[in-house]
Chains A and B, each alone.
Chain A
Amino acid sequence: MDELAEFKAEVREWLEVNCPPSMRTPMPEAEACWGGRNAKYKKPDSKLWMDRMASRGWTTPTWPKEYGGGGLTKKQNKILQRELGRINARPALQSFGIWMLGPALLQYGNETQKQQHLPKIVRGEIRWCQGYSEPGAGSDLAGLQTKATLTGDHYLVNGSKIWTSYANYADWIFCLVRTDPEASKHDGISFLLIDMDDPGVSTKPIQLISGVSPFCETFLEDVSVPKENLVGGLNKGWTVAKTLLQHERDMIGGIGGQGIKRKVEDYAKDYLGEVVGKLADPVLRDKLAQYNMDARAFKSQGSRFQAELKTGSAPGAISSAFKYYGSELNKRKYEILLECMGSQALGWEGEGFSNRELSTTREWLRSKANSIEGGTSEVQLNIIAKRILGLPD
């Protein structure tokens, strides 16, 4: 047996023993495991599953072992993911630490910062949120005004952030702050890590059109932050920010490829019926075929991107292409789903609608954020035009 085959056998056996049966079922959004100091686990098995996976470093399979990660190669990780998929295992842990901060720290953090923060992300002990956007700085992120002034060995931080996802549940926040008001926009920004238990940090939830409240306003009033918490160098925050955004965009773009597991055509069959093996509504059938083809093509682009990453031939800004296409694709999927469901898609809560119908409607509303969060579709097109095509300002 070659090494990979051995690895596969070992993974399979380990999962068999360690993945609780209740973690091999479809996961409602509310049962997702985000970790953190104040985490509440609807199911005790969620915690058990997270801890077991974390003990192998498999909550972050490719991170180096020295920081608690799994130290797996890309090929090994592929096997692990396939095996997890095979038993329909729920994600053991999801978090902004894993998707965004961790990769940025691995690249720009100093040794102390990596030692301090990465293992806690791996084990789900600390939950992070992202403090980028401000009331006056959305698409024009570099226009941010939250100020950090060095006083002794601490920064004094003042300002407010907005749209901070899950800030009300998070333990720490990674923030973009202005450390040099005199410098040009991009050159006066630093990347700062702030413990949200510190005095002066407060959050206020904002409700989304989908009825839930996953994000907040975050206020920073005279918050004192040790200067060791600055990542990537003074006034060098924009570089860190951009790298992190690329990771975020890859993640959001990925939504187009996955999302709900059940095929859209299966919903369509339930609601529209069939005539001699074809969906009864030929117009919707055609739309659905177009959607499915686009989704399949997008998957193909993803594989090529992965291959090119290895050879280093992919332009960095290509993340913007993914983010753009993937999020528009996901929105389209929900539009088609709702068209299929007719008036059964029009419920908000209560009787007359199944749980699945109600949650599909909410997801439809939530999907609209895909082309806004992480930089809007228009902003992604700007980036492609500028960075990839070299079109003038």
Chain B
Amino acid sequence: MAMILNDEQNLLQQSAQDFSEKVATIENFRKLRDAKERYHDQALWKQVAELGWTGIIVPEGWGGSEFGYLGLGLVLQQLGRHLTPSPLFSTGFLAAEILMQAGSDAQKDQYLPKIVDGSSLFAFAHEEQIRHSIHQVTCRGEKVAAGYRLSGEKVFVVDGELADYFIISARTSGANGAEAGISLFVVDASQAGISKVQLTTVDSRNVANVTLDNVEVSSDCLLAEVDHAFPILQNVFDKAAILMAAEMLGAAEDVFERTIDYLKEREQFGVTIGSFQALKHRAADMFVELDIAKSVVREALSALDEGSDEVPQLASLAKTRLNDCLTLITNEGVQMHGGMGMTDEFDIGLYMKRSRVANQLFGDSNYHRDRFASLGGY
């Protein structure tokens, strides 16, 4: 288990830190938020691709660096620190991962280089309900002469409004809720029958609801074997949970550090508020939670690189842990900043909003505790 970073990983972390401190700053994010358009900065995205982060998990044959999940996690953690909105998660991870697992050689040749050079953006359209579920797929994929006809509604598709391509899960057989009968398709977003409604979300990111109205796609669009996408989805969602936890860790670290600084700076009753034990103990408690969270994220990321059997458990563990930790730290962060914490001008509120969304994505804590228990056989 790689609990300590090696030199290469340290370098990567450093470059991500520089980038998020100097380029992908919160001020930059505020501008996107206030512009209320697509919540996307194309210039920044170009730099992300130039830094090679779009290809971190992609094999060299397709232009990637195959640096691994821990590497990608380190980058996401740093971007999480400054709330950097970027399509890296959807394109550089979700799409790359699914294509690597489920794509034919031809499909990989067609799409992976576009992911790595940043020229195309992808979105993963899977969820259909207000809560994360892998099984609940009602969107239909009917076999027709030339390929498949897709119909249904996908909700809260991250980067959905930006995407040049969608990866879509659809039911090609079986009843809603069944594991068998789910298939994956990669579809050009401009295809007739696809319509999108951009959502304005609390965390000001690019998200859309997507409607598929008899979208005719060729057989070339089918990923993996028809009806058998479930295990792939499971694995992808485990990885997604862990990588999202990495992003959340960055956010938690930042809010925690700001809060501790404030405790040392703000004076009331003639003393710094950090001398009050009621606050000290809560700060120490947060430290412990955060320290454990760091360990869990690091262990889970290494488990991905090592292909450990414990990945499903660690995924649920990491996501729950970071959901709860970031919720705690953002809530306490606001409270300990007093009235200042409630202002829009101050950044902590932005983290609290992102925390709420990140909690929801890929399963909230209730979902993952239930799953962890099931994996444990009780």
Q: Does A associate with B in a complex?
A: yes
Taking beta carbons and an 8 Å cutoff, which residues of A are in contact with B?
265, 268-269, 274, 277-279, 285-286, 288-290, 292-293, 296-298, 300-301, 303-308, 310-311, 313, 318, 321, 324-325, 378, 380-382, 384-385, 388-393
Other CB < 8 Å A-B pairs besides A297-B296, A300-B296, A391-B260, 19 of them? A279-B378, A285-B373, A289-B369, A298-B292, A304-B294, A307-B3, A307-B4, A321-B288, A324-B284, A378-B281, A381-B285, A382-B281, A384-B284, A389-B260, A389-B283, A391-B264, A391-B280, A391-B283, A392-B274
In the bound assembly, the distance between CA atoms of A384 and B264 in angstroms comes to: 15
Whether B230 sits at the interface, judged by CB under 8 Å, is: no
Q: How far is the CB of B11 from chain A (nearest CB, A)?
A: 17
In the bound assembly, the distance between CA atoms of A301 and B316 in angstroms comes to: 16
Q: Which residues of B contact A289 (CB under 8 A)?
A: 369-370, 372-373, 376
Q: Which single residue of chain B is at the shortest CB-CB distance from A392?
A: B275
| Complex contact B320–A293 (CB within 8 A) | yes
Interface residues of B in 268-287 (CB under 8 A from A): 271-272, 274-275, 277, 280-281, 283-285, 287
Whether B313 sits at the interface, judged by CB under 8 Å, is: yes
Whether B51 sits at the interface, judged by CB under 8 Å, is: no
Whether B295 sits at the interface, judged by CB under 8 Å, is: yes
For this complex, 15 residue pairs linking A to B, each with C-beta atoms less than 8 Å apart, are A279-B378, A285-B378, A286-B366, A296-B317, A297-B295, A300-B295, A301-B295, A301-B296, A310-B4, A382-B280, A385-B274, A385-B281, A390-B260, A391-B264, A392-B272
Q: Which single residue of chain A is at the shortest CB-CB distance from B282?
A: A381
| Complex contact A265–B376 (CB within 8 A) | yes
In the bound assembly, the distance between CA atoms of A347 and B50 in angstroms comes to: 68
In the bound assembly, the distance between CA atoms of A264 and B372 in angstroms comes to: 14
In the bound assembly, the distance between CA atoms of A227 and B70 in angstroms comes to: 56
Q: Which residues of A contact B374 (CB under 8 A)?
A: 277-278
Residue of A297, A303, A305 with highest tally of chain B CB at under 10 A: A297
Q: Which residues of A contact B260 (CB under 8 A)?
A: 389-391
Whether B142 sits at the interface, judged by CB under 8 Å, is: no
| Complex contact B373–A286 (CB within 8 A) | yes
Q: Which residues of B contact A388 (CB under 8 A)?
A: 284, 287
Knowing A307-B3, A392-B275, say if A293 contacts B284 (CB, 8 Å): no
Interface residues of B in 318-342 (CB under 8 A from A): 320-321
Knowing A297-B317, A301-B292, say if A391 contacts B274 (CB, 8 Å): yes
Whether B61 sits at the interface, judged by CB under 8 Å, is: no
Q: Which residues of B contact A278 (CB under 8 A)?
A: 373-374, 378
| Complex contact A300–B4 (CB within 8 A) | no
In the bound assembly, the distance between CA atoms of A99 and B313 in angstroms comes to: 33
In the bound assembly, the distance between CA atoms of A300 and B1 in angstroms comes to: 10
In the bound assembly, the distance between CA atoms of A307 and B302 in angstroms comes to: 14
Q: Which single residue of chain A is at the shortest CB-CB distance from B293?
A: A297
Size class of the contact patch on chain B:
35 or more
Interface of B is mostly: helix
In the bound assembly, the distance between CA atoms of A292 and B292 in angstroms comes to: 14
Q: Which residues of B contact A325 (CB under 8 A)?
A: 288, 292
Q: Which single residue of chain B is at the shortest CB-CB distance from A266?
A: B378
| Complex contact A324–B373 (CB within 8 A) | no
| Complex contact B272–A277 (CB within 8 A) | no
In the bound assembly, the distance between CA atoms of A325 and B292 in angstroms comes to: 10
Q: Which residues of A contact B271 (CB under 8 A)?
A: 392
Q: Which single residue of chain B is at the shortest CB-CB distance from A385?
A: B280
Whether B48 sits at the interface, judged by CB under 8 Å, is: no
Q: How far is the CB of B334 from chain A (nearest CB, A)?
A: 19
Q: How far is the CB of A189 from chain B (nearest CB, A)?
A: 25
The 4 closest A-B pairs by CB, nearest first: A307-B3, A384-B284, A385-B280, A289-B373
In the bound assembly, the distance between CA atoms of A304 and B298 in angstroms comes to: 9
Q: How far is the CB of A326 from chain B (nearest CB, A)?
A: 10
Whether B225 sits at the interface, judged by CB under 8 Å, is: no
Q: How far is the CB of A70 from chain B (nearest CB, A)?
A: 25
In the bound assembly, the distance between CA atoms of A75 and B4 in angstroms comes to: 17
In the bound assembly, the distance between CA atoms of A381 and B285 in angstroms comes to: 7
Whether B291 sits at the interface, judged by CB under 8 Å, is: yes
In the bound assembly, the distance between CA atoms of A296 and B299 in angstroms comes to: 11
| Complex contact B4–A311 (CB within 8 A) | yes
Q: Which single residue of chain B is at the shortest CB-CB distance from A388?
A: B287
Q: Which residues of B contact A389 (CB under 8 A)?
A: 260, 280, 283-284, 287
Task: Write out, one digit per residue, whether chain B residues 78-110 have a CB within 8 A of any chain A CB (1) or not (0).
Answer: 000000000000000000000000000000000
Knowing A301-B292, A303-B1, A390-B264, say if A268 contacts B378 (CB, 8 Å): yes
| Complex contact B291–A321 (CB within 8 A) | yes
Whether B155 sits at the interface, judged by CB under 8 Å, is: no
| Complex contact B264–A277 (CB within 8 A) | no
Whether B116 sits at the interface, judged by CB under 8 Å, is: no
| Complex contact A324–B288 (CB within 8 A) | yes
Whether B194 sits at the interface, judged by CB under 8 Å, is: no
In the bound assembly, the distance between CA atoms of A303 and B299 in angstroms comes to: 9
Interface residues of B in 338-367 (CB under 8 A from A): 366
Q: How far is the CB of B293 from chain A (nearest CB, A)?
A: 8
In the bound assembly, the distance between CA atoms of A83 and B373 in angstroms comes to: 30
Q: How far is the CB of A282 from chain B (nearest CB, A)?
A: 9
| Complex contact B295–A303 (CB within 8 A) | yes
Q: How far is the CB of B297 from chain A (nearest CB, A)?
A: 9
In the bound assembly, the distance between CA atoms of A296 and B295 in angstroms comes to: 11
Q: Which residues of B contact A393 (CB under 8 A)?
A: 275
Whether B377 sits at the interface, judged by CB under 8 Å, is: yes
Q: Which single residue of chain A is at the shortest CB-CB distance from B368?
A: A293
Q: How far is the CB of B125 from chain A (nearest CB, A)?
A: 30
Residue of B275, B285, B294 with highest tally of chain A CB at under 10 A: B285
Whether B208 sits at the interface, judged by CB under 8 Å, is: no
In the bound assembly, the distance between CA atoms of A286 and B377 in angstroms comes to: 13
In the bound assembly, the distance between CA atoms of A378 and B284 in angstroms comes to: 10
Q: How far is the CB of B185 from chain A (nearest CB, A)?
A: 33
In the bound assembly, the distance between CA atoms of A378 and B278 in angstroms comes to: 11
In the bound assembly, the distance between CA atoms of A150 and B373 in angstroms comes to: 62
Q: Which single residue of chain B is at the shortest CB-CB distance from A391?
A: B274
Q: Which residues of B contact A292 (CB under 8 A)?
A: 372-373, 376
In the bound assembly, the distance between CA atoms of A269 and B316 in angstroms comes to: 22
In the bound assembly, the distance between CA atoms of A305 and B374 in angstroms comes to: 29
Whether B241 sits at the interface, judged by CB under 8 Å, is: no
In the bound assembly, the distance between CA atoms of A265 and B372 in angstroms comes to: 12
Q: Which residues of B contact A290 (CB under 8 A)?
A: 369
Q: Which single residue of chain B is at the shortest CB-CB distance from A302?
A: B295
| Complex contact B377–A265 (CB within 8 A) | yes
Q: How far is the CB of A339 from chain B (nearest CB, A)?
A: 14
Q: How far is the CB of A195 from chain B (nearest CB, A)?
A: 40
